[in-house]
Structures are given as C-alpha cells and as structure tokens.
Amino acid sequence: MLDTEIKGPGYRIWCDASSRTVHFEGVLRLGTSEFKPIEELLDRVLADSPPALHLRMTELQFLNSSGINMLYKFAISVRKKSGTDLHVHASASIPWQGKSLPNLKKFLPTITLTLD
C-alpha cells in the first residue's frame, strides 16, 4: 500500500501505509464525480488484499450524501471481496457520523465501527 494524499479546499484524505489506515479530514461536500479519485484510492488500497484496513473519520466534520454513498459502496466492495477486516473509527460528537455510519453494518455485517 503506497502513501497517497488527495487534497482540496477544506479537506484532505491520506493513507498511512504502515498502519493500513486511510485518514479523512475536514469538510467533504463534493459532487458524485469529484469523489472518483477518493473512490479509486480506496479501491487501490483494497486491491492489495490487506488482512485489516482502517478508515479514520474522527477529523471529518461533514460529508454529503454523495460521500456517504461512496462509503457504503466501499463497504459492499469489501463484502464482495472478502478476506479483509474493515475497521471504521468515528466520533460520536460529530452528528453525521452517529446518524449515518451505523448503516455500514447493513452492507458489511463483519465491520467494526467504533464511535468514541
């Protein structure tokens, strides 16, 4: 897994290869097509078939419905591929996370979701 970074106005997504963690930071309210590079980054990370993969959301203040769609679809990709345990680290004090992230379990029942 390569170290990679995607940056835009008010947001940053980056991979830490050693801990197999993708970090999401800032405000992500983009159009569906603008989420493509982030989607491709996630797909590349999954293509390496790591035994475990972490998404850290605790610094992501806002995500719009196009971004939620991207996350849910990624959960489905992990389910279909099998062999990778997905861990999502979230914050209970960021409202959208407590409301929308629990749905991830419906798309990927084996997911570990931590809402601190």
Interacting residues with another protein (CB under 8 A): 9-10, 27, 29-34, 62, 64-66, 68-69, 72-73, 76-77, 93-96, 99-100, 103, 106-107
CB 47 to another protein: min, Å:
15
Task: Report the amino acid identity of residue 13.
Answer: I
| Residue with smaller CB distance to another protein, 18 or 33 | 33
CB 8 to another protein: min, Å:
9
**DSSP-H helix ranges across 1-116:** 36-47, 65-81, 95-100, 104-107
| Residue with smaller CB distance to another protein, 14 or 72 | 72
Q: Using a CB cutoff of 8 Å and minimum separation of 24, what contacts does 14-22 make?
A: 15/41, 15/45, 19/54, 20/45, 20/50, 20/52, 20/53, 20/54, 21/53, 21/54, 21/55, 21/56, 22/53, 22/54, 22/55, 22/56
CB 24 to another protein: min, Å:
16
| Residue with smaller CB distance to another protein, 52 or 98 | 98
CB 64 to another protein: min, Å:
6
Query: What does the alpha-carbon distance between residue 42 and residue 29 come to, in Å, rounded to a whole number?
Result: 18
| Residue with smaller CB distance to another protein, 13 or 21 | 13
